[in-house]
Structure formats: structure tokens, C-alpha cells
């Protein structure tokens, strides 16, 4: 019986049609746990600086964790990893839903897909039966149509499907891989990697079961964890509003991005906030597999121009990227845009990011209507946002044509934005200051001038600008007493302070790495304050392999370091541990973070030092030795 | 018949499938939704989740069609299947109007809800009070003639 892990990886080469199943060694599982950890372990040795992210050699890796598929709260997640076509460094994205749990039931922990199919295909995995199936009839269909057609074709409503929409097919660099219609592994362009392989979907179904090594210890600890979840002061709000509660909260703190982060306060925040969404449009709560927090919501728009719009979500990030970020206070349009992105298979964070960039370029006169697909890109013009999302998805495959965009395409703003904001800014003269990205990925929806640790977390994140690598929300949520105990200073719980933030970010990066490996939801684990010791107890009881709290922190540190070396190998330097000038030089104009800027120099050197990295952000050989990574020392 | 019954407030269901996990784990000590005696039907494009479980019918089609006479009334007042008598012929599966009987992937015998020895795990674990297990009202005509 499988205790936690299945200890199996499925390897599929789409060029040759070769399908093999291999064991995953206990050593790898002990050192990397699962999900994000076993994925970077697999990616590290198989790609190099010259690997084309959209070429056949780039592996597309799906990973689950030991807890995935069990009753451990919020553990039904999966991680998708490849070299990113958006950034050229680590591509890595994590999704909830039901797909990961089903892959575990089918008998695998991981799938590694290489090569490129000649014609569109989908991969069908039903227990040990694995087939590469024709998907020519699905190519060109959106995600929602694809899921429906596959379920009909297989006559099974319960198959789980990870698929791409037109955006992934068209190699849009900000496309994701979707499951359960509205769940996204959105970040770092994994959809384009899948599209480059002509792989439309990965369909899974299984009934192998996941066993437990120590029933009593496991049950006791899971019940304790559930008790902690239900008794958390944040349970009620999280289980009603989910992340959307953050719109009004962040606005009160002066941390809500407004007009491409020109500001951090939005006077119309209530019009796009979670409370209004809940009262007016939400019909019921929705959950991912095995999650008692059910932070997602199903919504219906009953009247007006968007009548008939219904779907799941949206998350806080989506409300900001298409809402306050674009100065758009029309909530119904955001709900429509959420569906549109889920159907095309686009990352809502990056898509809103490139559009708010375009709107600022329009405001500054850098883009004219005639080379913006004839769209009026004035702030808040939601019809133009909708049109632009469609143009982005249709993307005229610049990547296939070559590195330079042909002149005729310069008229097509959608195709330029489909390359991501960094590349887009290269094609729009003088637009670079408005391209908010780090390491090539669009920033997420935090006002980092007023939350310093989050800013540091963005800057050092191994996948480019992103809130979820560190996710240091302790600086806003924890008590001073708790902060002092764990981080040695109560300033760690003061969002404006710099002191203690390097330590906080290191700690949360390791914590987040572990949730991404076990495949628990950090949106549950962090705000509801689940403990690393509880993860250790549960994982040990489940798998029969002993993990202490410290073991897990060490694994987290190992993963952060391996991802770092991987990125250095891809050509990244410490100069990319930065934040866009806007956050550094332009003080917040109004709201409760007024006057704040983010000074990375007050945290970054200490962060490097705590990590055991030199002043150029390179891990010392001592640190690598300590983590058992010596073989990976940079040449 | 049982005075208690699992009943369903289906509009509260978030579709998390914790009930399926808890059910399978109680009976087989394994996390395997396909071995669960409760099933959450999902219609994703409409946002619908409906838990489906034995209705404990008055007119017991499953019992009537069983060629081995394997069904018997348990102390809890719900029909159970005698594993020793069941041959896995699937007659009850075909007859059940609610499609809540299946073959166990482990024993190959028919399985259905047995109220977990009086403490239904689906009820205990459900985060949203979708399922309940309590005294039933006995007064209404409907209650007397149509269960659930």
C-alpha cells in the first residue's frame, strides 16, 4: 500500500510516444518531499541556459505532495514546473481544485512530459493505463469547452482535466494551465510550455487509494489541525469572503494598487470589494478538494450588460488587477473578465498587469489609439480591457516568427502584451518605468511600499515578482509578542519597519516551500496560523518516515537554495533582486501608507547574510554542503 | 425502521468531498473516494454540488432483487449487506433508484451506507452541516409514508 506517496513518476515523451513509469527514490522524497520540491529536483538536471522554454527539451512537470488526496485540510493541490518562457528562469505555478488528488488516486506523484507532438494531443491517464489521444477536435476550443467535450467523450463526469485555452495554444507568455474550469496554475507562462508541446490536456482518473502508516497518530493530529482551523479568528471571514476580503482591508491600510500602482488607495474600493461581491452576486461557497475553509465562491450576474455571467472566484488579485489597477469600479465587468481569462487560460495577475501598463502608456501618450488595436485605453474603460484580453489570447505567435516583432505586428497591441510586460516595454519607446516586473514577471497586487517584507519577498522570489514565494503576511497579522518570539524583534510585526524583515522573509520562504511540497494551501496555512510542527507530525504519521519540524525547515531551505542556483545557472544575477523604480522612488501619494517608499538596501544585505549567500547573492559552498547540494555548485 | 436518518441540506454543499474521504477511511482505512458510500455529484459549469447517499427507502428495491437474500435490517434500522452472502452480482446496483450501491474495489462485494455503527462519519466531518443525523419527526402523513 502507498503511505502518502505513490513513489512513482510517469514519464511521457510526446515526440516518440514513449511512456514509462519509474520509481521515485526514497532519498528524493526525503530531501524534497513532493510538489514544488521534487519538481525543481527534476528540472534542475534536465535544462540549461540554452534550453528553449518553448522547445521540445523543456520538460513540463506536474507534481503532487504526500498529503495530496488525503483528508488533511486543503491538501488537494498540485504544482506545475518548467523553464519559464516568460522569464527564462524557473517557471513554477501551483493550483488547487481536484486534479492533484485524482493524479494521486491514479497511482502517481509526478508526471514529466517532454518532446513535442506532431499534431494536437491530450494525455489520458486512467490508473496504469496511459494513452496519448488525438486532440485535433479540441484545438482552438477554450478551457470550459474542452473540459465539457472530454467529459462527454469519455462518458465520465468525474475525470479531472488540466488543460490550456487558446492563450496557451498561441504561446501567450502569460498563459496558465487550468483545471476545474476556474482553478489556475497561472503564473510564469506554463500554459505556453504546454501549448508548445501541442498538448491540449492531461486527463486523470484513478481508484488506487492512499494509505496511512500510523492511523492513530495521523487521526489525532488531523483532528487537532481541523480544530485549530475552526477556532482561528480568521476562519469566518476566510470561509465567507476568501481572499476578496483583502480589497477593503488593504485599501484601509493604504496598500491597494491603483492605476498601475501609481497610488495605493482607491476611492471606489467598496464597489469592487469582497463584501459587495458576497452580498450581491455570490450564490454559494465553493471548496477545493478536502478543504473545510471553502474560500472560493460561485457567483451569478442576473441583470445588466453582463447578465448570465456565472462562475467561480474571483480572487483578490483578479479584483485588483482588473479593478483598482485599471481604475475600473465596475464589478460585473471584473466577474466577466475573470471568466474570460479562465476560458482563454490566462493568468489574471499578469494579464491585468500588462493591461494597466498599456493604460498608463496611453495616459502618458506613449501609445496612440491607432496602434492600440483602435481601442480607447482611458483608465476604467472596461470594454477596452475586455477587447484587449481577447486580442492577447489571439496572439499572432510572435515567438514562432522569431525574436523580433515584424513591423506589421506593432499595430497589434494585444500581441505585444502577450509577450509579457518586460518584452512589451522594449517595443514601446520610453515605457520602461511603467513596466512593473521583477525578473520578467508582472508584479502581484500588493502595495509593497507600505508592507516592507512583502517588497523584499517580491524582490528575491525565485519565480519573479510574486507574493506567494515568501507570503510574509505575519508583518500585518501577527502580534508583537509572537513576532518577537519567532523573529527576535517586535518590529517584524510592524509593516512600516525594516528591522526583522529579512529574517521574516527567510522563515516564510521556507514555510511556503513546504506547503508547496506537501501540497497544502498556504492561503489556509498562513493566515490561520497552522504550524510547521503539525505538518511534521502529520507527514510522519502518514508516510512512516520521520520528519521533525527542523527537518521540514531544512527541506524548505534546500529548495529555496536549489531554485536559486538553478536561476543563477540560467544567467540570473543579483542585480535582478530588485524592485521597480516606482516603489523605490515615488512616495505613496495618499492613504494610510502616504509618503512611504520601499528601500530594499535596508533588508537585502541582511537577507543574503542570513541565507549564507555572498554579497552577489551566490550561495556559499558551506551552505550548499550543509544542505547536501554540493554536487550542484556553480561551475 | 430507523428513527434517525442522514438528511441533506444540499444547498450548503461546497463540493469538497471530505465526506467521501471520511467514509472510505472509516470503512477501509484508506483515502479512496471510489470506495466511499457517499458521492458528491458535481455539475461544475452550473456550480452545483449534490451529496448523494442511501435514502433508506421504504420500498427497498435493493433488498427485493437480491438473489442471495443478503440484505438485512441492522440494529440501527438501516439495511446492511451480509458480506458472506453477497456474491457481487450487481442486481442491487441495477435496482437502486438513487445509484448509491457499488462494488467495493477491495472486497468485490456490494457496499452501501451503513450509518457507521451509529456515528456517520460524513455527518461528523462535513464542514457545512449539509448532512444531519437526528430524531425524525413522526407525525406528518408524509413522514409516515415517505421517508426523507
Q: Kindly compute the dihedral angle of the four CA atoms of residues A72, A151, A302, A330, in this order, to the nearest 10 degrees.
A: 70
DSSP tag of A23: E
Residue A373 sits in a domain whose CATH number is: 1.10.569.10
DSSP tag of A581: H
| Angstroms from A243 CA to nearest CA on chain B | 17
Per the domain annotation, does A226 fall within a domain?
A: no
CB A271 within 8 A of CB A332: no
Which of A104, A179, A209, A226 to mutate to probe the B interface, most B CBs <10 Å?
A209
| Angstroms from A103 CA to nearest CA on chain B | 12
Out of A441, A461, A493, a domain closes at A441
Are A383 and A329 found together in one domain?
Answer: yes
pLDDT confidence of residue A401? 44
Chain A residues closer than 8 Å to B38 by CB: none
Which of B12, B13, B14 to mutate to probe the A interface, most A CBs <10 Å?
B14
Task: Copy the grid coordinates of residue A12.
Answer: 511521457
Q: Give the ipTM.
A: 0.95
Per the domain annotation, does B145 fall within a domain?
A: no
Angle at the Cα of A353 (from A352 to A359), degrees rounded to 5? 85
Interface contact flag, A212 B16, Cβ < 8 Å: no
Q: Is the pLDDT of residue B135 over 70?
A: no
| Strands of the A160-163 sheet, one edge to the other | A129-134, A121-126, A199-205, A160-163, A177-179, A183-185
Interface contact flag, A294 B128, Cβ < 8 Å: yes
Q: CA nearest A96 in B: which residue?
A: B16
Whose CA is closest to A535, among A562, A510, A563?
A: A510
Are A317 and A456 found together in one domain?
Answer: no
- Structural domains in chain B (count): 1
Out of A153, A176, A205, a domain closes at A205
Residue A12 sits in a domain whose CATH number is: 3.60.9.10
The ranges of chain A with pLDDT < 70 are 396-411, 632-635
Interface contact flag, B47 A147, Cβ < 8 Å: no
Whose CA is closest to A79, among A568, A628, A576, A559?
A: A559
Q: What confidence tens digit (pLDDT) does each residue in A540-583 have?
A: 999 999 999 999 999 999 999 999 999 999 999 999 999 999 99
Are A462 and A611 found together in one domain?
Answer: yes
- Does A210 contact chain B (CB < 8 Å)? yes
Per the domain annotation, does A234 fall within a domain?
A: no
Task: Copy the grid coordinates of residue A424.
Answer: 512589451
Calculate what percentage of chain A has a pLDDT beyond 90: 94
Are A461 and A426 found together in one domain?
Answer: no
- Structural domains in chain A (count): 3
Residue A592 sits in a domain whose CATH number is: 1.10.599.10
Cα separation, A132 vs A200, whole angstroms: 11
- Does A538 contact chain B (CB < 8 Å)? no
- Does A242 contact chain B (CB < 8 Å)? no
CB A35 within 8 A of CB A573: no
Are A180 and A257 found together in one domain?
Answer: no
Provide the domain limits for residue B31.
Answer: 4-134
Q: Which of A71, A285, A294 is opposite residue B25, by nearest beta carbon?
A: A71
Per the domain annotation, does A235 fall within a domain?
A: no
Average pLDDT over residues B6-29: 91
Provide the domain limits for residue A592.
Answer: 448-632
CB A398 within 8 A of CB A417: no
Q: What confidence tens digit (pLDDT) does each residue in A398-454 have?
A: 544 445 555 555 668 998 999 999 999 998 999 999 999 999 999 999 999 999 999
Average pLDDT over residues B58-86: 93
pLDDT confidence of residue A446? 97
Cα separation, A565 vs A562, whole angstroms: 5
The count of CB pairs under 8 A between chains A and B is 85
Residue B63 sits in a domain whose CATH number is: 3.30.70.20
Cα separation, A115 vs A13, whole angstroms: 5
Interface contact flag, A283 B32, Cβ < 8 Å: no
Q: Which of B16, B34, B47 is opposite residue A207, by nearest beta carbon?
A: B34
Cα separation, A549 vs B85, whole angstroms: 49
Q: Is the pLDDT of residue B3 over 60?
A: no
pLDDT confidence of residue B145? 53
- Does A442 contact chain B (CB < 8 Å)? no
Per the domain annotation, does A394 fall within a domain?
A: yes
Amino acid at each position: 500500500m502507498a503511505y502518502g506517496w505513490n513513489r512513482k513518476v510517469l514519464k511521457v515523451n510526446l515526440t516518440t510516444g514513449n511512456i514509462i513509469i519509474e520509481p521515485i527514490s526514497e532519498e528524493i522524497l526525503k530531501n524534497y518531499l513532493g510538489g514544488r520540491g521534487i519538481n525543481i529536483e527534476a528540472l534542475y538536471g534536465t535544462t540549461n541556459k540554452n534550453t528553449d522554454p518553448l522547445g521540445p527539451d523543456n520538460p513540463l512537470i506536474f507534481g503532487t505532495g504526500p498529503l495530496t488526496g488525503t483528508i488533511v485540510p486543503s491538501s488537494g493541490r498540485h504544482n506545475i514546473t518548467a523553464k519559464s518562457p516568460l522569464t527564462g528562469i524557473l517557471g513554477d505555478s501551483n493550483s488547487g481544485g481536484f486534479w492533484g488528488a485524482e493524479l494521486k488516486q491514479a497511482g502517481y506523484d509526478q508526471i514529466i512530459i517532454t518532446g513535442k507532438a506532431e499534431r494536437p494531443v491530450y494525455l489520458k491517464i486512467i490508473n496504469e493505463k496511459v494513452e496519448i489521444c488525438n486532440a485535433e477536435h479540441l484545438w482552438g476550443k477554450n478551457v470550459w469547452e474542452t473540459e465539457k467535450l472530454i467529459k462527454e467523450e469519455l462518458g465520465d463526469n468525474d475525470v479531472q482535466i488540466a488543460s490550456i485555452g487558446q492563450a496557451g495554444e498561441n504561446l501567450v507568455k502569460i498563459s496558465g494551465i487550468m483545471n476545474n474550469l476556474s482553478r489556475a496554475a497561472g503564473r510564469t507562462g506554463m500554459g505556453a510550455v504546454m501549448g508548445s508541446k501541442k498538448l491540449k490536456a492531461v486527463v486523470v482518473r484513478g481508484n488506487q487509494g492512499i494509505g496511512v502508516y500510523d492511523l492513530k497518530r495521523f487521526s489525532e493530529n488531523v483532528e487537532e489541525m481541523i480544530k485549530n482551523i475552526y477556532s482561528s479568528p480568521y476562519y469566518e471571514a476566510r470561509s465567507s469572503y476568501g481572499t476578496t476580503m483583502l480589497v477593503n482591508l488593504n485599501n484601509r491600510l493604504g496598500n491597494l494598487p491603483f492605476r498601475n500602482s501609481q497610488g495605493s488607495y482607491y476611492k471606489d474600493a467598496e464597489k469592487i470589494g469582497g463584501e459587495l461581491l458576497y452580498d450581491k452576486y455570490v450564490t454559494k461557497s465553493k471548496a477545493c478538494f478536502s478543504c473545510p475553509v471553502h474560500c472560493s465562491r460561485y457567483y451569478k450576474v442576473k441583470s445588466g450588460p453582463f447578465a448570465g455571467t456565472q462562475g467561480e472566484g474571483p480572487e483578490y488579485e483578479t479584483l485588483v488587477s482588473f479593478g483598482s489597477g485599471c481604475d475600473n469600479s465596475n464589478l460585473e465587468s471584473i466577474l466577466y473578465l475573470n471568466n474570460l481569462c479562465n476560458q482563454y487560460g490566462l493568468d489574471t495577475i499578469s494579464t491585468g498587469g500588462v493591461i494597466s501598463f498599456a493604460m498608463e502608456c496611453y495616459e502618458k501618450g506613449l501609445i496612440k489609439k491607432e496602434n492600440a488595436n483602435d481601442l480607447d485605453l482611458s483608465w476604467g474603460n472596461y470594454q477596452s480591457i475586455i477587447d484587449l484580453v481577447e486580442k492577447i489570447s489571439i496572439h499572432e505567435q510572435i515567438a514562432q516568427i522569431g525574436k523580433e516583432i515584424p513591423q506589421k505586428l506593432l499595430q497589434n497591441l494585444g500581441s505585444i502584451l502577450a509577450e509579457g510586460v518586460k518584452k512589451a516595454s522594449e517595443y514601446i519607446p520610453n515605457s520602461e518605468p511603467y513596466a512593473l516586473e521583477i525578473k520578467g514577471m508582472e508584479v502581484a497586487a500588493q502595495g509593497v511600499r507600505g508592507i516592507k517584507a512583502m517588497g523584499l519577498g517580491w524582490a528575491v522570489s525565485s519565480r519573479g515578482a510574486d507574493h506567494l514565494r515568501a507570503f510574509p503576511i505575519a508583518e500585518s497579522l501577527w502580534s508583537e509578542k509572537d513576532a518577537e518570539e519567532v523573529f527576535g524583534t517586535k518590529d517584524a510585526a510592524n509593516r512600516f519597519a525594516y528591522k526583522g524583515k529579512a529574517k521574516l522573509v527567510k522563515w516564510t520562504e521556507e514555510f511556503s516551500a513546504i506547503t508547496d511540497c506537501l501540497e497544502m494551501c498556504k492561503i489556509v496555512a498562513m493566515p490561520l496560523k497552522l504550524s510547521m510542527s503539525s505538518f511534521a507530525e502529520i507527514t510522519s504519521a502518514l508516510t512512516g518516515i520521520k520528519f521533525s519540524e527542523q527537518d521540514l525547515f531544512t527541506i524548505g531551505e534546500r529548495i529555496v537554495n536549489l531554485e536559486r542556483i538553478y536561476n543563477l545557472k540560467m544567467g540570473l544575477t543579483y542585480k535582478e533582486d530588485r524592485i521597480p523604480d516606482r516603489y523605490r522612488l515615488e512616495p505613496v501619494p495618499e492613504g494610510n501608507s502616504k509618503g512611504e517608499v520601499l528601500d530594499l538596501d535596508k533588508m537585502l544585505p541582511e537577507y543574503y547574510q542570513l541565507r549564507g549567500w555572498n554579497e552577489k547573492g551566490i550561495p556559499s559552498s558551506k551552505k550548499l554542503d550543509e544542505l547536501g547540494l554540493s554536487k550542484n555548485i556553480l561551475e | 425502521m430507523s428513527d434517525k436518518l442522514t438528511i441533506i441540506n444540499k444547498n450548503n454543499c461546497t463540493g469538497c468531498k471530505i465526506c467521501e474521504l471520511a467514509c472510505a477511511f472509516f470503512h477501509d482505512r484508506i483515502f479512496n473516494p471510489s470506495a466511499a458510500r457517499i458521492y458528491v455529484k458535481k455539475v461544475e459549469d452550473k456550480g452545483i454540488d449534490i451529496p448523494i447517499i442511501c435514502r433508506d427507502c421504504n420500498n427497498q428495491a435493493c433488498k427485493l432483487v437480491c438473489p442471495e437474500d443478503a440484505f438485512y435490517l441492522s440494529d440501527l434500522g438501516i439495511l446492511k449487506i451480509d458480506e458472506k452472502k453477497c456474491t457481487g452480482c450487481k442486481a442491487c446496483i441495477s435496482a437502486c433508484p438513487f445509484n448509491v450501491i457499488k462494488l467495493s474495489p477491495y472486497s468485490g462485494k456490494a457496499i452501501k451506507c451503513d450509518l457507521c455503527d451509529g456515528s456517520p462519519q460524513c455527518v461528523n466531518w462535513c464542514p457545512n452541516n449539509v448532512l444531519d443525523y437526528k430524531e425524525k419527526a413522526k407525525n406528518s402523513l408524509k413522514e409516515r409514508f415517505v421517508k426523507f
